[in-house]
Structure 1
Amino acid sequence: MKLSNLDKYVPAKLYKRGVDYFEQNYVKDLREDGPNRWHAIVSGTGDYHVSMLLSKEDAILSSFCTCPFESDSLCKHEVAVCLAIQEHKKEYVPAPVDVLSRLKEMKKAELLEVLEDLLQQQPAVNLYLAEKFSETAEMDEAKARRMIRKSANRASRSGFIEWDRTDQAIEGALEVQDYLDTLDLAQDGERIILLSLIIVHECSKMLEKADD
């Protein structure tokens, strides 16, 4: 029995009384004392304490009410609390975590600790970084095109770059531009022109499949 299908297991009369108690706001002081352990007070002819243990899938593992009702079914107070828990879960959905912002706020030691955990738990991260660090610092035409196309492909969905993925799409082009900024115009003028033309060409191709 789960919070979402009480009406299939609780006798209709008891379930209706529980709904009435819930809708009349008889459930007070609802709180989660521990992971999936809930407690509330339900008003009626007296104040009754209801305790409930749920699974991660919101199945009712155990429940208890201080009222004198004796049955294998949930009592009306327990039904009311179940409905209150269900409403609470709908209203208080945890906001998604902005991982990038959180990472930017972390100190170097904390970032290193997270990275060490990733390297141990995710072999793919280890392989990616090994490949990244093995790349030479020199930038040639092939490498510039590869970097720009890689970020464009990563940002595209079904061959289309949506407006909210444009920053991700041009990451490779910005990396190439950052490299160009380190060069000396007098000594590396030809390379600067060549790689700049590649940036323009590849970004023009991105525009063809980008959102208006």
Structure 2
Amino acid sequence: MKLTNFEQWMDDKILERGLAYLKKGKVLNLTTSDEIHYKALVDGSEVYHVDIYLNDEVVVNAYCDCPYDLNEYCKHKAAVLYALREKKPEKEGVTTIVKPEEKGVRSILLNQTKENLIKIILDVIEEFPDIEKRLMFQFSSDEEEITSAKKLIQEYINRAKHRGFIDWRHLGQALQGAEMTLQKARNKLEMGNSQSAVLLSLTVLSPVVKMLQHSDDSDGSAGGIINWALRLMDEAVIASLDFFSEQDQKKLFEAILKEAQKTLYNDWSDWRYDLLRICTHFLNQKELRKKLEKQLDTLLEKAGTSWNAKYDHKEVKLLQLDIIEKCEGLEAAKQFIYENINISEFRKKAIALEFQLEEYKKVVQLCIEGEAVDKDYRGLVKDWKEYRYKAYEMLGEVEEQTISERTFI
């Protein structure tokens, strides 16, 4: 990516925000000592550090310590790239491109009275009504926040549609409500309110998954939002599971399971399995374990008729194994693994177990059987041969090792 045309690599919304940051003086200072590594401070909701590495006019690398992770480039990086291109210095020891004494918005606001701040906010809201929605959502009560989040997410999605479709240029706009909701969920988690963090994250999923049916997500932004919501839910549950009451655990488990049961995930089964994996954190309650096992049995029955039956069968079996490992221990898990040994992931787990137990002859037998079962899958056959080679090596069977080596693909 060249400094002269970096816009081609970024979302229009990111570029618009980055340029606005520069014009408002949010790039507080920009320094370099070698004309390669440029450091900057950007005044946002916090002061963020941005590092840009240039090789002549080529952007080799860019880093920002803000939490944005939907795309490679955030508005802070964009602001610094604009600053670099407009004010790139002559070569010298250390050059300050934007003077540190230039004030950013944050420092200006900190020096205002409460009355002035209220007036400034109300004036801005009058000019930009969208900000009012953001503030009302940000400061909504606990009782209203889920309803407010659903409304906000859908409003942004609907606004971005053109003739019922959202093109890639407007996808960032469509996802703003979801992004705000997840940021609020992150803040809730950091304040110790994990239950709200889970429920807010859960609120994002259905509308964004539905949106995929009528949008161009070629850059993966919508998928990134969904994965962010799932990671946040998982983190929140793990962080606070021991502090949840049994009633709270049941409430969260049933909310997550209900989401996973929705038919809209029939075409997006990976996210359904991610939701069910989060459910496995609640296995300390037998009642909840039974509900999850019943759901997995139902999915296993349906898998026989689905277009991707083999994949669904494998994913359900792996979830069942997860339950057995957590609830019944190693021996029960080992038995289940061997009962499903013709699934390649289970064969690999069995091989790993036998390596741990130093049962190298069993490894060899598992690999030979695997080569026969998966003879039509060259990648898997190669894996089984490599495992067999390692087992021969541990057994010291040089002749067999040599034969195995010759048969590598």
> Which has the higher relative contact order, 1 or 2, with Cα contacts under 8 A spaced 6 or more apart?
1
Higher helix share: 2
Question: Highest CA radius of gyration, 1 or 2?
Answer: 1
What range is the shorter-chain TM-score in? Answer: 0.3 to 0.5
TM-score w.r.t. length of structure 1: 0.41
TM-score by length of 2: 0.22
